[in-house]
Structure 1
Amino acid sequence: MLPYKTIPVFLEKIWGGTRLLNYYKNIEGKIGESIEFDGREHGIPLIIKLIDACDDLSIQVHPDEQTAVMFKDGTCGKDEFWVVLDCYEDSYIYWGFNGIYDKSRIYEATLDGSIVNMLNKVNVSVGDCIYIPSGTVHALGKGVMVYELQQSSDVTYRLYDWDRLDKGKKRELHIEKAIESIKPHNFISLSDITNIYEMESKGHNLITIGNYEYFKAKYVCLKNGESIIQACDEVRIITAIYGHGFLDFKDNRMLLKKGDTVVLPEASDECVSIIGDGMLRYIEATV
């Protein structure tokens, strides 16, 4: 089987925007998510998205496997990993609690919105890499656009949605399920955030940026004419986030440009060659 480009699925969101046009996506309306890869149809437990948050997302949490099964909301949890692709100078995320709170206090705070004052509000920069394990309360802030790698689950429990209206109605909250899913002792440290461009500036062009239980991620930067030979020893999903280059497999050459996601199927004893043309930056995801 040859490497192939995926066909993205676009989802309009109340908080979406138009920046996916910068990634050569043919979109109309306020698109919040471009689902680049959904591995469930191939038996690969990964989903990859480009997310454009032009407004604050809801304060939310994802369950782990045990909690999802208990609520009959699937059979796996939902850990996530973000790489910031674009943001405003003062952009931020909400990421874990800023203190130790019991669940009764958290529940009360969801009712009046004061839960936002209990969360770490963290300024972010382009290139920041952020891991969000299941059970961590979080939200993308206004202006943040990310590459997202996640487990293959669609389950999100909203705690607070800014009292905004969607088509004249408030969106559904899932407070009881969310409270049960929260792991208030998940430790969050700013030192856990790494930045791909800071590492690149120090001469690192092939970087492991995520090595977690359910998925792994690498960042690669290839300058003009530089190449990397990649073994096809497992399924790899490559998403170009800057520039363009080429992917050679046997006698086939594929153009790889910003916004493309390419699946490299497992093929024992085979390899691909990826070549920078000008400059190519991409993220590689594996299980």
Structure 2
Amino acid sequence: MYYPLRFKPVYKDYIWGGRSLEELGKMLPREGRVAESWEISAHPNGMSVVSNGMLAGISLADAGRKLGAKLLGSQVPESFKHRFPLLVKLIDANDRLSVQVHPDDAYAMRHENGESGKNEMWYVVSSRPGARLIAGLAPGVTRDAFAKAIDDGTCLDLLHTIPVQAGDAINIPAGLVHAIGEGLVVCEIQQNADTTYRVFDYNRRDSNGQTRPLHVAKALDVIAFDRPGPVPLLSGLFLRTEGLTRRILVLNRYFLVEELQVSGRAAFYSDSSRFRTLTVIAGKGGIAYRSEAGHQLSDPLFAGDSLLIPASLGAWELTGNLRLLSSQPSFFARDAAELAKSAGQADTVAWLDQVGSSGQIGLDPRPVA
């Protein structure tokens, strides 16, 4: 029963979507725009349903309750059994997304009926020429100044914009004002939450002539005015073994995210401690593993595929020529110590400060001391 799980994507039709996810291999509805594909989700607003194997037809939430630690991990919090912690999306920004911000856990708990906060990271899958992201306020922008700029429609002048291309990555902690610009396909790894506070939506109207609601008061409550931009793109920490290049991008309180580049054959081992998600960004290949009965099995992998690797899968390998985005629940102290050691650094705390301040790895938010 423990095998790589695939899911039926949950498609979202928002005003800014398009059809670009077809180019990534997604089988979209025949007509209409698709703004997001929720690839792996246990959120009530878009619940994943298993599409392969013995568990086909049950939701991710039910799979977590049914299999518990065998699926989720023996060293993750017990709460994960009742609330899967991560959400993996593919986003097609055919047009600009709203300027927005997300709350942290404490604010969401108080004001959003117990919802989690929303920390996230973006990985640029593809980009049109001139594509940009918005991430962070210009230095010196105060709450009053930003509130006035929202009111008079000039808030874009107070935001930090970043030109991007395929392969770029950025960390978006709660409290950071941000937006995805037009012409981008992005893979987003985030907390399992769906709370967004819009501050500006370009005054556009939907097919019924209505503007979308803004959430200015709450946004001003949660924006981290003490952490202005510019926010760096993440260069990553590169670790190379036979057949595999790991590019560590984000290690924060909630998740560890890395880009995996497979050339030929790369071996992995799931040690029962935590699950892993995989999303194929480019290339083709396969995943091989053993069934509970000991039979060697393999499944093909193509761009646009997403998998959940159970914590108890044991030994498995990726083959072919693949570029993937991997996410796992964060074991911050353990992960940091292992990465520092791999980088040849004995002082983990000093190493974290160095890679964080240089923009090599996104570390915010760190665990509470």
Q: Is the 8 A contact 1:232 1:264 kept in 2?
A: no
2:316 to 265, 269, 272: 272
Residue 339 of structure 2: aligned partner? none
Is 158-167 or 24-33 further displaced after alignment?
A: 24-33
In the alignment, residue 286 of structure 1 is paired with which amino acid?
Answer: Q
Residue 230 of structure 1: aligned partner? 269
2:280 to 240, 245, 270: 240
Q: Is the 8 A contact 2:238 2:246 kept in 1?
A: no
C-alpha displacement at 1:128, in angstroms?
0.6
2:37 to 34, 37, 45: 34
Q: SS in structure 2 opposite 1:109? A: helix
2:129 to 89, 113, 138: 89
Alignment of structure 1 residues 189-208 onto 2, 5 Å: 189=230, 192-195=232-235, 205-208=245-248
Residue 143 of structure 1: aligned partner? 183
Q: Is the 8 A contact 1:91 1:144 kept in 2?
A: yes
Matched, 1:6 2:7: yes
- The verdict on how the C-alpha distance between 1:139 and 1:171 changes in structure 2, with shifts beyond 3 A counting, is same
Q: SS in structure 2 opposite 1:178? A: helix
Q: Is the 8 A contact 1:159 1:173 kept in 2?
A: yes
Matched, 1:122 2:162: yes
Q: For 1:102 and 1:195, locate their aligned partners in 2 and report how far apart those are by CA, in whole Å.
A: 30
Matched, 1:282 2:324: yes
Q: Give the TM-score taking structure 1 as reference length.
A: 0.92
Is 169-178 or 35-44 further displaced after alignment?
A: 35-44
1:78-110 deviations in Å (ceiling 9; x for gaps): 011000011122111111001222212211111
- The verdict on how the C-alpha distance between 1:79 and 1:181 changes in structure 2, with shifts beyond 3 A counting, is same
1:179 to 197, 220, 231: 220
- The verdict on how the C-alpha distance between 1:248 and 1:79 changes in structure 2, with shifts beyond 3 A counting, is same
1:108-158 deviations in Å (ceiling 9; x for gaps): 111222111000011111111100100011100011111000011100000
Q: For 2:34 and 2:112, locate their aligned partners in 1 and report how far apart those are by CA, in whole Å.
A: 29
Alignment of structure 1 residues 204-215 onto 2, 5 Å: 205-215=245-255
Q: For 1:282 and 1:222, locate their aligned partners in 2 and report how far apart those are by CA, in whole Å.
A: 8
Percent identity for Structure 1 against Structure 2 = 31
Q: SS in structure 2 opposite 1:285? A: strand
Q: For 1:245 and 1:68, locate their aligned partners in 2 and report how far apart those are by CA, in whole Å.
A: 41
Q: Is the 8 A contact 1:93 1:140 kept in 2?
A: yes
1:247-273 deviations in Å (ceiling 9; x for gaps): 1111211111110001111117x2211
Unaligned runs of at least 5 residues, structure 2: 44-60, 65-82, 291-295, 330-369
Q: For 1:228 and 1:157, locate their aligned partners in 2 and report how far apart those are by CA, in whole Å.
A: 42
Q: Is the 8 A contact 1:236 1:265 kept in 2?
A: yes
Q: For 1:189 and 1:163, locate their aligned partners in 2 and report how far apart those are by CA, in whole Å.
A: 26
Q: Is the 8 A contact 1:98 1:119 kept in 2?
A: yes
Residue 201 of structure 2: aligned partner? 161
Q: Give the TM-score taking structure 2 as reference length.
A: 0.72
C-alpha displacement at 1:72, in angstroms?
2.7
1:28-76 deviations in Å (ceiling 9; x for gaps): 3111100001145233210000001011111100001111122134332
C-alpha displacement at 1:186, in angstroms?
1.9
**Number of residue-to-residue matches in the alignment:** 280
Q: For 2:142 and 2:230, locate their aligned partners in 1 and report how far apart those are by CA, in whole Å.
A: 20
Residue 252 of structure 1: aligned partner? 297
Give the 4+ runs in structure 1 shifted more than 6 A.
none
Q: For 2:216 and 2:327, locate their aligned partners in 1 and report how far apart those are by CA, in whole Å.
A: 32
Residue 19 of structure 2: aligned partner? 18
- The verdict on how the C-alpha distance between 1:90 and 1:142 changes in structure 2, with shifts beyond 3 A counting, is same
Q: For 1:21 and 1:66, locate their aligned partners in 2 and report how far apart those are by CA, in whole Å.
A: 38
Q: Is the 8 A contact 1:74 1:153 kept in 2?
A: no
Q: Is the 8 A contact 1:127 1:195 kept in 2?
A: no
Matched, 1:44 2:45: no
Q: For 1:73 and 1:131, locate their aligned partners in 2 and report how far apart those are by CA, in whole Å.
A: 26
Q: Is the 8 A contact 1:232 1:265 kept in 2?
A: no
Q: Is the 8 A contact 2:284 2:303 kept in 1?
A: yes
C-alpha displacement at 1:275, in angstroms?
1.2
Unaligned runs of at least 5 residues, structure 1: none
